Amino acid sequence: MIFADKIIKLRKQNGWSQEELANKLEVSRQAVSKWESAQSVPSLDKLLQLSALFGVTTDYLLKDELEEAEYAQGNDDSGLRHVSLAEANAFLESRAKAAPQIALATFLCILSPIPLLLLAAFCELPGFILSENLAGGIGLVALLLIVAVAVVIFLRDGFQNKPYEFLDQEPFAAEYGVTGMVRERKKAFQPAYARYNIIGTCLCILSPVALFSGAFTDNDLFCVIMLTVTMGIAGIGVIFFLLAGVPYAGMQKLLQEGEYSTVEKKHSRIRGAVAAIYWLLTTAIFLGISFVTNGWGKSWVVWPVAGVVFAGVMVVCNLVFDKKES
């Protein structure tokens, strides 16, 4: 069996397309195609990476007389970190446990402005026991406390995920059996992934119904209550997205597929930095407008506008990445 046939066999055993293998090795798909059609052979460093990715010896890849795969014992010189079957299982279990926690923390962030909005609305009622400034202060404290609880949950998840940070920060190779195991788990999770995303999408689409029903009345308090209902329904939709997305992202990460391919990892880090700066500025603008105008009941409009603009910012980022690659 010649080198080209061995590459094809090993690639198919792992369930990878030529493009996926090319992304893992940081080469073009055409280069992989030439290897598999015996038009060229990889360089020494790529040969070592192939050995690490497939978990076989370089002797097996190079020597035509070796028909049966000789699996490496992890002592190759490729410099790639290896992920064992035990590590992969532990990582996927940690992501499955983290999904509800991350969903709860995100839900709290979405609901955090509600006390502030409700208190601001109640202040408009005659005879309300709290002054407008006191109600605003209590609402702001409640907002910060809820966000603080969410941040603690996020930080705890970050510490628990620390042993697996290398999956995001450096190239790695899966040991024999890891890819097959992850693909099986991904296939088994697919129905739940689809179901959760459908539910989350439906809830997010239907969430403005409550807000629209309040918009047709002249009762400001009812309007604000319907706004909080909209936020709650949308928050529940986000919970379903995260229950599906966090475990699924863990599987993609181990398979180095989708946004976790070598190229997309670089882009994701840039998107993350842009998103962090964007939402920090949005929060500063919201608090600035609210304090200056004392219009806490109206300044919430900053958030839906920011959400729409953020989608545009991400589109621009993707266009810039595409232009650079082309």
Tell me the two tokens of residue 4: 């080209």
Contact 213, 229 (CB under 8 A): no
Q: How far apart are CA 60 and CA 3, in angstroms?
A: 9
Tell me, what's the pLDDT at 278? Answer: 85
Return the residue matching tokens 């026991």: 129
Tell me, what's the pLDDT at 265? Answer: 58
Average pLDDT over the chain reads: 82
Tell me the two tokens of residue 58: 């370089």
Contact 216, 65 (CB under 8 A): no
Q: Is the pLDDT of residue 74 over 50?
A: no
Q: Which pLDDT band holds residue 129 (cuts at 50, 70, 90)?
A: confident
Residue 246: alpha-carbon gap to chain centroid: 7
Query: 3-state class of 173 per DSSP?
Result: strand
Give residues with Cβ within 8 angstroms of 199, minimum separation 6. Answer: 237, 240
Domain formed by 3-79, architecture: Orthogonal Bundle (1.10)
- Comparing 77-86, 101-110, 263-272, which segment has the lowest mean pLDDT? 263-272
Tell me the two tokens of residue 214: 């309040």
Sequence letter at residue 47 = L
CA 301, 307, 309, 310 torsion: positive or negative? positive
- Residues 65-75 as b or e (16 or more Cβ within 10 Å = b): eeeebeebeee
Q: How far apart are CA 148 and CA 302, in angstroms?
A: 21
Does residue 78 or residue 222 have the better pLDDT? 222
For the packed helices 220-255 and 114-122, what is the interaxial angle rounded to 10 degrees? 180
Tell me the two tokens of residue 204: 């997010």
Contact 303, 282 (CB under 8 A): yes
Give residues with Cβ within 8 angstroms of 324, minimum separation 6. Answer: none
pLDDT tens per residue across span 163-198: 888 887 777 877 777 888 898 999 999 999 999 999
pLDDT tens per residue across span 235-265: 999 999 999 999 999 998 888 877 776 555 5
For the chain, report the end-to-end CA distance as a whole number of angstroms: 37
Q: Which pLDDT band holds residue 13 (cuts at 50, 70, 90)?
A: confident
Q: How far apart are CA 305 and CA 271, in angstroms?
A: 19
Domain ranges of the chain: 3-79, 84-259, 261-326
Beta strands, E only, 164-205: 172-174
The total number of residues written for the chain in this structure:
326
Q: How many CA atoms lie within 13 A of 140 on its CB side?
A: 15
Q: How far apart are CA 292 and CA 54, in angstroms?
A: 61
Backbone angles phi, psi at 69, to 5 degrees: -65, 135
Does residue 7 or residue 93 have the better pLDDT? 93
pLDDT tens per residue across span 16-28: 888 888 877 878 8
